[in-house]
């Protein structure tokens, strides 16, 4: 018998999976105020509880399927573990049931894009490839799909990996690591340990050029990817090379795709493309497939997405910039593009900081930003990390947009990249991004009506 703990998107996918398997379970959520009446109607064979776990249940289940949003350090979870209860997650259930190759993708930033690119490359090459996990459909819902997939491409969060023990992957990667979720992890090393669990049972480890292996990978080949001139590539490593006056993405000394053919330009887009090609290495995909995918892929919503160019000012939605590393990448990428126009950035940042250190933003802000406008709960923490910069404080995103419109000069870019979680004022990063787009649209409409 199982206890499904947490009744959000992941928990509900577990309920659907157990229903399909004919597996009985209990369902519990710590939120007393959560209305589970619709779920109880949808799953009549499941007993539900909120707020407090019924004592009578404890002797009846052996395993907790813990949603990723619930930390194993929660006292009630620790108490159940002391009683001998096993704690797993939805990805562990997936791992125990899947019978075809899996590609695992994690990292602080870029994992949704690389997951999508990898899936698109495999699909374009003729494979039945499913994409999901922390992105899009939950992994267990993919297993319930009627399609007989050839390969699953999973985006995996550190929270999911914490409760995963038997996932075998044909290739896997940690794209990068920057400080994130420090309100949940003891320190950066603890966070790294969670991420690198993806390598425990992989056939091919794909690592950034500068990523330390921490002595953890002895059982499989390692392929690296990177852009630096000092990166000495082996025959199976991925980087950039010049050939016939053009810059190419390359495997070893084999040119694969011309950089100029990519729709998305910029350092981080090249890194994402290299990681994707490395992850596909076991499938021997032709360079023409990669070229087609990269020449057509225009990016995912809320990731340095152009909303509008109005009065020669670009408004960029990077609401997915939920940590310092993501925002730093966005500032550097968009800042370099603005510099080519002899222009600067107006950075909009703020929200819930997750106990992050914002000081790494300071050099890039100093180099590229005309002004930073901070809003939301932890705006003062961001402002304090930028002591010598032009920083304005407001309460809301709407106020930040109004001030940005007054500040921006012709050629400038207003970059909305919060470096924070969204749940002080929004449901999630997607809701926050949609509100940004709506507010910018209303601002433009009001200007046009004058």
> Burial of 147 by CB count in 10 Å (0-12 exposed, 13-18 middle, 19+ buried)?
exposed
The residue behind tokens 């390598």 is 199
422-425: list long-range contacts, CB under 8 Å, 24+ apart: 422/319, 422/322, 422/351, 422/352, 423/351, 423/352, 424/351, 424/352, 424/376, 424/377, 424/378, 425/351, 425/376, 425/377, 425/396, 425/397
First to last CA, the chain: 65
CA gap 332, 361 in Å, rounded:
10
Contact 255, 241 (CB under 8 A): yes
Give me the residues paired with residue 347 across strands: 372, 415
With 0-12 / 13-18 / 19 or more C-beta atoms within 10 angstroms meaning exposed / middle / buried, residue 146 is exposed
* Nearest to 145, CA basis, from 111, 201, 94, 208: 94
Long-range contacts of the stretch 268-273 (C-beta < 8 A, 24+): 268/109, 268/110, 268/329, 268/333, 269/333, 270/227, 270/240, 271/110, 271/175, 271/208, 271/225, 271/226, 271/227, 272/110, 272/113, 272/114, 272/117, 272/175, 273/117, 273/249
CB 332 within 8 A of CB 360: no
CB 17 within 8 A of CB 65: no
* List of residues 6+ apart from 35 with CB closer than 8 A: none
What tokens appear for 281 in the block?
């290495």
List the structure tokens of 115: 């997951």
- Helices 9-21 and 90-97 cross at an angle (nearest 10°) of 30
Q: Which residue numbers are catalytic?
A: 111, 134, 181
């Amino acid at each position: 018998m199982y206890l499904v703990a947490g009744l959000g998107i992941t928990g509900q996918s577990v309920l659907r999976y157990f229903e399909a398997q004919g597996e009985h379970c209990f369902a519990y959520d710590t939120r007393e105020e959560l209305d589970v009446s619709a779920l109880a109607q949808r799953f009549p064979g499941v007993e539900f509880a909120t707020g407090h776990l019924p004592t009578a249940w404890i002797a009846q289940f052996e395993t907790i399927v813990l949603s990723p949003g619930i930390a194993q350090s929660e006292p009630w979870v620790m108490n159940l573990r002391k009683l001998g209860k096993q704690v797993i997650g939805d990805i562990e259930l997936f791992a125990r049931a899947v019978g075809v190759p899996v590609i695992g993708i994690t990292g602080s930033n870029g994992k949704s894009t690389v997951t999508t690119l990898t899936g698109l490359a495999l699909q374009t090459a003729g494979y039945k490839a499913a994409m999901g996990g922390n992105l899009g459909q939950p992994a267990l819902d993919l297993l319930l799909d009627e399609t007989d997939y050839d390969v699953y491409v999973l985006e995996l969060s550190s929270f999911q990996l914490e409760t995963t023990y038997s996932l075998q992957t044909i290739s896997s990667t940690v794209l990068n690591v920057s400080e994130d979720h420090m309100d949940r992890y003891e320190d950066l090393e603890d966070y790294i340990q969670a991420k690198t669990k993806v390598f425990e049972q992989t056939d091919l480890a794909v690592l950034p050029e500068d990523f330390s292996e921490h002595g953890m990978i002895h059982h499989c080949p390692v392929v690296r990817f990177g852009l630096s001139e000092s990166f000495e590539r082996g025959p199976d490593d991925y980087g950039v090379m010049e050939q016939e006056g053009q810059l190419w993405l390359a495997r070893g000394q084999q040119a694969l795709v011309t950089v100029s053919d990519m729709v998305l330009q910029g350092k981080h887009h090249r890194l994402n493309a290299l990681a994707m090609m490395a992850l596909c290495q076991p499938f021997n995909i032709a360079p023409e497939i990669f070229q087609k995918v990269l020449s057509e892929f225009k990016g995912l919503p809320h990731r340095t997405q152009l909303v509008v160019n109005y009065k020669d000012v670009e408004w960029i939605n990077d609401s997915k910039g939920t940590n310092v590393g993501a925002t730093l990448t966005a500032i550097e990428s968009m800042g370099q593009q603005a510099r080519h126009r002899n222009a600067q950035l107006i950075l909009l940042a703020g929200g819930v900081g997750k106990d992050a250190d914002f000081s790494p933003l300071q050099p890039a802000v100093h180099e590229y930003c005309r002004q930073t406008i901070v809003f939301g709960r932890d705006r003062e923490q961001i402002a304090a990390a930028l002591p010598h910069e032009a920083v304005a404080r407001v309460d809301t995103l709407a106020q930040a947009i109004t001030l940005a419109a007054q500040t921006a000069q012709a050629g400038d870019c207003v970059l909305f990249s919060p470096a924070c979680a969204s749940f002080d004022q929004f449901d999630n990063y997607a809701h926050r991004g949609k509100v940004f787009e709506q507010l910018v649209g209303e601002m433009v409409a009001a200007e046009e009506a004058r």
